């Protein structure tokens, strides 16, 4: 019997742009076998058409690099189903539209899932051909644990 689609997790970013690759790095590290009903994928997030992939999902977790002036590698979590995500923290990434703009657009179009959580990891280096910085890389396993716990809470709610 096929499982019901309950939660979509998307790691947003470009692995060839330094810390912008943290979203894909985190979703690669998330276990798939214990997450029945959860789809996990990476996306560059450069096209607002990603909004169409959200439609029909009850819950959405998004992981992306941010530039909010915090400690490099620190994690901030936003409940985008209840509040607007600050627009100025996604400004230095490689995306045509910021994640906060895509969430606002999806909300206006009625395509935003009822539960949306955004995990923002403070980055520093976004240059072409750069690797993820040490401080951001050190945050990956901690963020994976946090997301796994939030997945368990979502599935048991």
Q: How do residues 115-146 score in pLDDT, each as one tens digit? A: 999 999 999 988 888 889 999 999 999 999 99
Class of residue 74 by CB neighbours under 10 A (exposed 0-12, middle 13-18, buried 19+): middle
**What is the distance between the alpha carbons of residues 17 and 23, in angstroms, rounded to a whole number?**
12
Q: Examine residue 145 and state whether it is found in any structural domain, yes or no.
A: yes
Question: Is residue 97 included in any domain, yes or no?
Answer: yes
Structural domain contains residue 82: yes
Q: Which CATH number do you get for residue 138?
A: 3.40.50.1450
pLDDT in tens, 9-65: 999 999 999 999 999 999 999 987 666 788 999 998 777 788 888 888 999 999 999
2 assigned to some structural domain: no
Q: What are phi and psi of 24, to 5 degrees?
A: -60, -35
* Within a domain: 56: yes
Range of the domain at 12: 7-156
Tell me, yes or no, whether 1 lies in a domain.
no
Classify residue 41: in a domain, yes or no: yes
The total number of structural domains that make up the chain: 1
């Amino acid at each position: 019997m096929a499982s019901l689609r309950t939660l979509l997790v998307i790691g947003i970013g470009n692995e060839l742009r330094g810390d912008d690759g943290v979203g894909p790095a985190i979703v690669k590290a998330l276990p798939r076998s214990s997450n029945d009903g959860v789809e996990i994928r990476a996306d560059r997030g450069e096209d607002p058409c990603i909004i169409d992939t959200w439609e029909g999902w009850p819950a959405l977790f998004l992981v992306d690099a941010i530039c909010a002036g915090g400690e490099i590698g620190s994690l901030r979590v936003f409940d985008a189903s209840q509040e607007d995500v600050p627009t100025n923290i996604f400004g230095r990434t490689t995306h045509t539209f910021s994640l906060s703009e895509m969430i606002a657009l999806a909300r206006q179009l009625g395509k935003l899932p009822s539960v949306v959580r955004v995990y923002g990891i403070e980055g520093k280096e976004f240059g072409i051909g750069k690797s993820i910085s040490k401080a951001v890389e050190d945050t990956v396993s901690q963020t994976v644990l946090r997301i796994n716990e939030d997945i368990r809470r979502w599935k048991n709610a």
